[in-house]
Amino acid sequence: MHCVANVKNAVSELEGVSGVDIDLTAGTAIVNGQFDPKIVLAAIEKAGYTAEKSG
């Protein structure tokens, strides 16, 4: 659960993010709000994880 907390904390702090739901088993994160997806991806990668935008 440590990695879930790392990603959730990194993304939750970003401007415009109103919620983050992480599914560790599926390896996905759903981010809600009005934000720049590039900034979210960069925050996840800075936390030490790989990320890509879907949809």
For 12, residues 6+ apart whose C-beta sits below 8 A from its C-beta are 20
pLDDT band at 55 (very low <50, low <70, confident <90, very high): confident
This model's pTM is above 0.95: no
Q: Which fold has domain 2-46?
A: Alpha-Beta Plaits (3.30.70)
| Domain ranges for the chain | 2-46
Q: List, for residues 3-45, the tens digit of each pLDDT value.
A: 889 999 999 999 999 999 999 899 899 999 999 999 999 999 9
